[in-house]
Structure 1
Amino acid sequence: MAEPLQDAPHQLHTVEVDQPLAAVNRLLAGLHLALAATAISHRGVHDIMLAADLVLLFLWLLSQAPMLRPVSRAAFPGRLSHPALPGVDVMVVTADPDKEPAVKVMNTVISAMALDYPGGRLTVYLSDDAGSPLTLLAARKAYAFARVWVPFCRKYGVQCPCPERFFASNDQLDGGGGVDHHHELADDKIRVKNMYEAFKKGVEEATHDAALSQSWTKAARQDHGAHVEIIADKQDSSVSNSDDEDAMPSLVYVSREKRPAWAHHFKAGALNVLLRVSSLVSNAPYVLVLDCDMYCNTRSSVLEAMCFHLHRRRRADDLAFVQFPQKFHNLSSNDIYANELRSIFSTRWKGLDGLRGPILSGTGFCLRRDAVYGARPSSSQDHPFSSMEVGELKTRFGHSNGHVASLRRTAGSTTTSRDGLLPEDARLVASCEYETGTRWGDEVGFLYQSVVEDYFTGYRQLYCRGWTSVYCYPAPSRPAPFLGSVPTNLNDVLVQNKRWMSGMLAVGLSKHCPLGSSLAVSLPHSMGFAYYAFMALYAFAVLCYATVPQLSFFRGGTSSFPEASSLWFAAVFVSSLLQHLIEVSVAKRGLEVRTWWNEQRFWALNAVTGQLFACLSVALDLVGAGGRAVDFDLTSKASDNVRLYRDGVFDFAGCSTVLLPATTLCLLNDAALVGGVWKMVISGSRGHVSAELFLLCYVAALSYPLLQGMFLRRDPARVPAWITAMSVGMAATLLSLFG
């Protein structure tokens, strides 16, 4: 049975350890380890397949650490005292108005402004890294609409504060509005919907405004000055600060300065600018970070986070952040690209929560400001930096008098200006030169040593300093706190995975490797982080299993599996498949063979595409031949051809070189399968090739969509002809040289 924490009347949250699941995980892990060790012991010491098996075993061992103690949590926001709630700064980041359409970005902004939280203690910051006048204009229009939308949500108890979702959904109210307002709802809904349609139309017209587009070019994305603006209406200044329950949340637009000669550090740099600007304007003790496409799906999410942050605990106050899962509104029922990220957000984050907390996941987390500033739990008081001299503070945080003063004030003591006037230092802290000579990105704020700033900051900046976190996963009966969108084009998915894998592998191979920090963080927790740091190494193992057995089977007469241990390897394979199937079925609460198969297929595809190119990129960077080997390509959030994705058909349109290894290995496998079987029939001898035959058939089944896309489809989303031609040539070369 699960072990619940005692649910006292005033307790704000509970936690349960899923003991039955933990016991099953440990039993399966022990069985698989014994089988794998026995099979590997029969490998020859000079066999390249031994190296592949050892890599697989190493990654599997790391992956088991989060499975040892899975937990679930529940929050009770109704027990919070609203007058005692601290301030929260919501930070939304966007970087490209072409790939991140303004209407979608503004839906996220508007949904954040409509959260169920005292308006006088909620401030929304929008970071526009492109410095686009369209985004600024859309933000102004969004604020004008929010002045109607926010009171509407409060009055009728709207459940989902995202207007686009609200007007397209039937599940709209949570009952908070009461029956007295029910007769008014129909008329108000029509009125607000018309205003929303007018808002969208205004933004769309601005998108096609020639005068607006001529005032800003694509080159200006990397070369523009700082602009900070508090978007407010003078009518809002009539709201008393003491009546902050009904106050209108403030919206602050921030476009930091960007120059070609200065490194901008991508999302981490943008978030650090937001931290500094917000310290001058609202200085809330907690920040909620959202990607521009990750809109609020329930109004209670911040209150749920506060249930953990404000809960009185017996031990030291060491909670740095509350992480929410990433859920997506455009997932297909047949998720062929494994976009759900089930193994992360439905399985392993729960297990990491049972250790010291999940990995910081880029979006949907509520974080203590002083923790990300570099404070330690032992010094986290109202003034964690009060012992530092002014000179030391300026060396560490920069020469903004306003920002240094905010470090010595009680967080949240600054009141947001409602007349549009900015503190004097606002543009200074958003300038390119401000971080020069400071500790920003190194010891202060989000760290710059990796393009996966969330992963690296969570581990080095927070966990290694003694902080912990919790994972707030909603019960199956409750809606997801936040909903985002996933890429529906295969190339976008693979490029996104390449970026993640290369960033984490670069950390794993650096002096900041999680396995080298087990003294600061528990060994199981370090292993959980290290699994993602080295996940790209699956590429080596899969590459071996996609070439050596194939060539061996094609030649005939020899086997890549030792005869005495072929049954052991078969048992290891079955054990791995069974463990994965149970893991999927537990997470999905039912036997989910289709989800299991989709994840199996995409795991193999991703290993020889995104993960393989990530390894090459990091290797070139390490030897100094890669230049800017680790890139930061944005995936498109704009509408594309989603029909194929919804129908479970792979969309290869626009696929780049990243797909080439997968198509080549697919042809190599199929050619070796046909050629090897033909040789067996001609010779009349099967030899010791049963293991290879099974493996090649399994790989053929996994890679069938690639074969179909190259030769059996005629639609525009088939595999590009140049990739097919190159794959045929490379596969033929491999067979002629080694077959």
Structure 2
Amino acid sequence: MPPLSAVHVNKPLAAANRLMAHRAPLLLSAASAAMVAADLTLLFLWALSQSGLWRPVSRAAFPERLLAARRRSQLPGVDVLVVTADPALGVMNTVLSAMALDYPGARLSVYLSDDAGSPLTLLAARKAYAFARAWVPFCRKHSVQCPWPDRYLGGGGDDEDGGGDCGGGEAAAEERRRIKKMYETFKGDIEDACRKRSCCWTKEERQDHDAYVEIITAAGEEEDDRRRRHHHDEEEEEEEEEEETRMPLLVYVSREKRRASPHHFKAGALNALLRVSSLVSHAPYVLVLDCDMSCNTRASALEAMCFHLDRSPPAPDNLAFVQFPQMFHNLSRNDIYTNDLRYVFGTRWIGLDGLRGPLLSGTGFYVRRDALYGATPPPATQAGGYFSSSMLEAGELATRFPLGVSDQLLASLRNQLQSSTPRPSSSAADSRRRPLPRDATLVASCAYEEGTGWGDQVGFMYQSVVEDYFTGYRRFFARGWTSAYCYPARRPFLGSMPTNLNDVLVQNKRWMSGMLAVGLSRHCPLACPDLLAVSVPQAMAIAYFGFLALYAFPVLCYATLPQLCFLRGVPLFPDARWFAAAFASSLLQHLVEVSVANSRLAVRAWWNEQRFWMLNAVTGQLFGCVSAFQDLLGAAALDFDLTTKASDGSLYRKGVFDFTGCSTLLLPATTLCVLNAAALVGGTWKMMTRGGARGELFPQLFLLSYVAALSYPLLEGMFLRQDPARVPWRITALSVAFAAVLLALFG
């Protein structure tokens, strides 16, 4: 008789169920292996970071000694390079503040790169120059400390700005009121022009436009120059006074842009400015400023020259650039996003200065032009030389600059080779009287760099979106150059930082992805023979920043595995004493570091840095790792995300997180935040209801509680706040869903 029933074992389902039954020991095994890998990553990063902390130094510049040793007319020229794609008033303030530096006007030139090719920017530059003809002499006459017009005249400065009082009695006060009235007119003209014409410049025109270069002058200025020359053609002291009182040169440069041609972002714009400035003024030294980084003191040029021109021991003969700290005027007292970058400019750069100098930091640095062109440091027998004749002989110029189409640029470089010392650049007034060099537009064209060494052997390097990091160590340190870090008492430059969390994270993601792409490439500092031959400790310190994004992996492990194990009652740190000692020592070291930098016990700053370090690790650094690995595998090119920095900052000033516009970049952080809270509540409930507390779980309980405290702003933004700047509902819903999936699989 055939069977009346049948049974069939569902082997795949049985295997899955058995696997789930044994998930506790499997979870513990996998978690232990992952935590070991996380700890090894932390150890690797810690080892790389130590060499940059062993010898912190501080420097002081003495401009009065420099001026006592040489006449102001004998100072080498300085070309200021400002890059922008925005005709905003803030950009013109940067230009005006640079023109008002305490430096001989005949030795100072300012070049403004307009990557958008906007008529508004050109119009604003012309109006800025017209106002500068009153502003620059005013700053010189009254020794104004802050050359930034909007800050000085607008009353937004602090005590270090002198309160906007130029002194000198009623006559000086009247002159200040006159200058302020002129500035208000200038400001209104710029704002009106932007409102009226902003819609006239299309996106297509921004991406496709011809090269254009203009030396900006004002009506009647050339006649004034001729009159001064006639009056001062015999007395040497009067000639020096004439050079001092001349207006700095202002040159507008809009390089050619074509959608079919790579423009290499900021590095490409800086290289175009280098070529144009080589033809016009060719100053031996170059100051690079971001468009939102205005000069807050007039002394930075003289302070930088104190290092560049110092030949007394122990001053180095191979100094390539002087880096100033980046500081910001829109920071709140409770800097919840750690925008002050204390970790970099208040700690790391001081330590690196004790090795062979800090890294190039994108803005606020005075660099030798010949070092940018690929020269090596002069031999000891040629101390004080400008170009290294052993490096850039005329024959090598033809190889390094195969530019046959621009004999003017090549001739300019050859002229510099003939001098063993930095010869003064042609004066601003002389450059203005000469016609625009015929090749000025040519060297700003798209096709000019094809077949040349620009971006590789010459100028700022193109292989990374963080051109400052890559150029700093490949162009300078690997060739034997050094740098110096000048941190004066008065803040030298002030910029703007984003006050919206999404913009802060996007900016950090760009930095992390760019540096990690360098660290994972063949250009890794730890695999650079030239750099290792010069200094292994410096190679380690530079590599630390290249691998900084790898903090995402250990933080990701510590934000998931202890939580899941705690929820299941599985101890992950059985030795509570070891865990407590390691955790406490790490927190204490950070607290001491922050307090030393602030000259007081800075618990709030320490807490903000702890919180943002964890948040940035699972957002900016995590996505930076993904982006860098995609680039390494050829799956996608690294993008160059821009930040707006245009938020009103009201919530930031109140110490409240502004989640406006937050994208999926925030999703890992919010998901882990929900997971940690659920594991903390669920695990604690189990400890209380199933046989009492277990001592081996206390380290995890403490860790989860600490993470919950750090992530409270995220929980508040998701579940407690109802204002428009809360975490978007879509991000909150996805976070809860992803956390629920993790808890269902492993909880």
| 8 A contact 1:157–1:177 mirrored in 2 | no
Partner of 1:64: 50
| 8 A contact 1:156–1:175 mirrored in 2 | no
Deviation at 1:686, TM superposition (A): 2.6
| 8 A contact 2:526–2:532 mirrored in 1 | no
Partner of 1:469: 483
AA partner of residue 461 (structure 2): L
Deviation at 1:384, TM superposition (A): 3.9
Deviation at 1:520, TM superposition (A): 3.2
Partner of 1:11: none
Partner of 1:439: 453
Deviation at 1:634, TM superposition (A): 1.6
Partner of 2:717: 709
Partner of 1:227: 212
Segments of structure 1 that go 5 or more residues without pairing to the other structure are 1-42
Deviation at 1:216, TM superposition (A): 1.6
Deviation at 1:625, TM superposition (A): 1.5
- Say which SS state the counterpart of residue 245 (structure 1) adopts: helix
Partner of 1:35: none
Structure 1's 608 and 617: CA in aligned 2 closer, same or farther, altered over 3 A?
A: same
* CA deviation map 1:278-320 (0-9, x unaligned): 0000000000000011100000110000000010144762000
Structure 1's 678 and 383: CA in aligned 2 closer, same or farther, altered over 3 A?
A: closer
Partner of 1:392: 398
1:532 equivalenced with 2:532 (yes/no):
no
Partner of 1:88: 78
TM-score, L = length of structure 2: 0.88
Aligned-partner Cα distance in 1 for 2:214–2:723: 48
Structure 1's 736 and 70: CA in aligned 2 closer, same or farther, altered over 3 A?
A: same
- When Rg is computed on C-alpha atoms for both structures, the one with the higher figure is 2
1:204 equivalenced with 2:194 (yes/no):
no
Deviation at 1:392, TM superposition (A): 1.6
Which of 465, 473, 479 lines up with 2:490 in the alignment?
479
* CA deviation map 1:606-625 (0-9, x unaligned): 00000000011111121222
- Say which SS state the counterpart of residue 363 (structure 2) adopts: coil
1:605 equivalenced with 2:615 (yes/no):
yes
AA partner of residue 502 (structure 1): S
Q: How many residues align?
A: 682
* CA deviation map 1:249-287 (0-9, x unaligned): 010011100101111111000000000000000000000
Aligned-partner Cα distance in 2 for 1:170–1:390: 51
Partner of 1:691: 699
Partner of 2:338: 338
Partner of 1:24: none
Segments of structure 2 that go 5 or more residues without pairing to the other structure are 1-28, 230-238, 417-422
Which of 512, 518, 542 lines up with 2:523 in the alignment?
512
Aligned-partner Cα distance in 1 for 2:106–2:220: 15
TM-score, L = length of structure 1: 0.89
Alignment of 1:403-442 (within 5 A): 403-410=409-416, 412-416=424-428, 417-419=431-433, 421-442=435-456
Partner of 2:359: 359
AA partner of residue 269 (structure 1): G
AA partner of residue 356 (structure 2): R
Deviation at 1:388, TM superposition (A): 2.0
Alignment of 1:240-251 (within 5 A): 242=239, 243-251=242-250
Deviation at 1:218, TM superposition (A): 1.9
- Say which SS state the counterpart of residue 60 (structure 2) adopts: strand
Aligned-partner Cα distance in 1 for 2:99–2:210: 27
- Say which SS state the counterpart of residue 511 (structure 2) adopts: helix
Structure 1's 316 and 711: CA in aligned 2 closer, same or farther, altered over 3 A?
A: closer
AA partner of residue 730 (structure 2): W
Partner of 1:34: none
Moved more, 509-518 or 196-205: 509-518
Partner of 2:113: 127
Partner of 1:300: 299
AA partner of residue 207 (structure 1): C
- Say which SS state the counterpart of residue 117 (structure 2) adopts: coil
| 8 A contact 1:394–1:400 mirrored in 2 | no
Aligned-partner Cα distance in 2 for 1:173–1:336: 26
Aligned-partner Cα distance in 2 for 1:504–1:413: 35
| 8 A contact 1:316–1:378 mirrored in 2 | no
Partner of 2:730: 722
| 8 A contact 1:667–1:707 mirrored in 2 | yes
Deviation at 1:413, TM superposition (A): 4.0
Deviation at 1:186, TM superposition (A): 1.2
- Say which SS state the counterpart of residue 508 (structure 2) adopts: helix
AA partner of residue 551 (structure 1): L
AA partner of residue 341 (structure 1): L
Deviation at 1:399, TM superposition (A): 3.2
AA partner of residue 258 (structure 1): K
| 8 A contact 1:397–1:444 mirrored in 2 | no
Fraction of identical pairs, as percent: 66
Partner of 2:253: 254
Partner of 2:509: 498
